[in-house]
Amino acid sequence: MSKPQPATQDFIRSIERLHRILEAAKLLNSTLDINELTRIILRIIREEVGIDRGTVFVVDWKRRQLRSIVAQEVENEIVLPVEKGIAGAVAATAQVIDIPDAYADPRFDPRFDPMLGYRTQDIFCMPIVNRDGTVVGVLELMNRSRPLTSDDLEFLSGVSVHVGLALENAWLHREMIEKRKIERELDLAREIQHNFYPNLPESYGGVGIAASSVMCEAVGGDYLDYFPLDDGRFIVMLGDVSGKGIGAALVMTSLHATCRALARHIHALEKIAMILNDTLVETTGPGTFVTLAIVLVDSKSRRLHYICAGHNPLLHVDCTGKAFLIERGGGPPVGLFAHLSYAREIVEVDAGSTIVVYTDGVSEAEDKNQEQFGLDRLAGIVQEHHSESATGVHTGIRAALSSFVGDVPPNDDSTMIVLKF
């Protein structure tokens, strides 16, 4: 039997190569688990090309990092900046790098070999691109068992297209799962934080009460609480944690627990403020603080005892509709400096008066022109509704605030308490 002609041999090799690429593509599309996928990638290439070890990196362009998904014989994730090292250079340039002697190349970092008990001899590193031609990963192959042939290079080039598509799909799938996980955790955090909201009566000791808190994100850093006392008096607290989101919510959670523990046993506002301040200084980092208003309402003597620790001044609209800002007293926000002392202030409050305690998410809310809602507008709304109940005043403020900001998304949590004598 005569031997196949060279042209026939080339044709046969092309068919076999195409068959291997199709088989590889089939395997690559068999899973969306990115760890399993990269193991498949390395197994296929190891069998076809003959290399000792391989690493698949995914490129995170937002952070400009390469992260190893599976590195053979390596347990810990490898993180490299783009443009750093051989893999980083491939990611940055989208060019193949073939190094016959790793230690002779200045881009090679030899520190990893002693750590891994390995000796890197040669490296073949190529980009993995998606359907748009964007580099989504890097394939690094080490210590080949034989020289790479033109068939090997053609196989790697052909299979890399399928690797890129599969890797991008798997990465998007992983991000989607992570996003859903985060959303579930945020839903749980939102529910927990909602349970912190106090069970406010419509009135206590002859004083009407209405309050609300609207978060600009899933969870927030505004704190609102209410503590009735046996003698008809009650304490309300309103705080605003520096920052937003999950970090502020965690501080708010700690604040809530501490206030609850204190208010059950201590009714002296000065002592509550002092202990809260020292606790926050001890348990939070520099730059984390809380503006806080602690208000003791004594309806029998028509008095308001309060401490404003860096918080907005209370708004007082008397029975005639005249508006005042209660700005006396106070001190720095809690959590900034240790061993601070706070002194309370006392104001007389006539029947028919309205007191509004609020965070700057109310007074500093912005419309589409970046104009702030402002204290004058807030006072005007309260004056307009001052003859109504606490609920009526509160509803009027919220309606005016919503109309003012329109479709502009809030950039801060907004919380307020309305007290009507």
pLDDT tens profile 45-73: 777 788 888 888 888 888 898 887 654 44
pLDDT band at 76 (very low <50, low <70, confident <90, very high): low
Contact 209, 199 (CB under 8 A): no
Q: What is the pLDDT of residue 28?
A: 53
Does residue 246 carry a pLDDT above 90?
A: no
Average pLDDT over residues 72-100: 82
Average pLDDT over residues 134-148: 88
Q: Token match 């199709």: residue? A: 22
Question: How far apart (Å, rounded) are the C-alpha atoms in residues 292 and 222?
Answer: 10
Contact 412, 216 (CB under 8 A): yes
Whole-model pTM?
Answer: 0.62
Length of the chain: 421
Does residue 400 carry a pLDDT above 70?
A: yes
End-to-end CA distance of the chain: 111
Average pLDDT over residues 336-349: 90
Does residue 27 carry a pLDDT above 70?
A: no
> Of the ranges 35-39, 94-98, 266-270, 379-383, which one carries the lowest mean pLDDT score?
35-39
The tokens describing 335, both together, are: 């959590």
Q: What is the pLDDT of residue 72?
A: 45
Q: What is the pLDDT of residue 404?
A: 95
Average pLDDT over residues 377-396: 95
Which fold is adopted by the domain 6-180? Beta-Lactamase (3.30.450)
Question: How far apart (Å, rounded) are the C-alpha atoms in residues 299 and 320?
Answer: 19
Q: Token match 């599976």: residue? A: 70
Which residue type is seen at 225?
D
Sheet strand arrangement including 303-309 = 222-228, 234-241, 290-298, 303-309, 345-348
Average pLDDT over residues 20-44: 63
Q: What is the pLDDT of residue 71?
A: 46
- Alpha helices, DSSP H, located in 144-219: 150-196
Q: Which residues contact 233 (CB under 8 A, 6 or more apart)?
A: 205, 296, 297, 298, 299, 300
Q: What percent of the chain has pLDDT over 90?
A: 38
Q: What percent of the chain has pLDDT over 70?
A: 85
DSSP-derived 3-state class of residue 334 = strand
Tens-digit pLDDT profile for residues 208-218: 999 999 888 77
Average pLDDT over residues 90-111: 91
Q: What is the dihedral of CA 279, 281, 284, 286, to 10 degrees?
A: 170
pLDDT band at 362 (very low <50, low <70, confident <90, very high): very high
Does residue 23 carry a pLDDT above 90?
A: no
DSSP-derived 3-state class of residue 345 = strand
Other CB atoms within 10 A of residue 261 CB: 12
Question: How far apart (Å, rounded) are the C-alpha atoms in residues 80 and 333?
Answer: 42
Q: What is the pLDDT of residue 56?
A: 82
Q: What is the pLDDT of residue 417?
A: 96
Other CB atoms within 10 A of residue 292 CB: 29
**Of the options 2.40.110.20, 3.40.50.620, 1.10.10.10, 3.60.40.10, the CATH number for the domain spanning 197-420:** 3.60.40.10
Map out the domains of the chain as residue ranges.
6-180, 197-420
Q: What is the pLDDT of residue 160?
A: 72
> Of the ranges 57-66, 183-192, 356-365, which one carries the lowest mean pLDDT score?
183-192
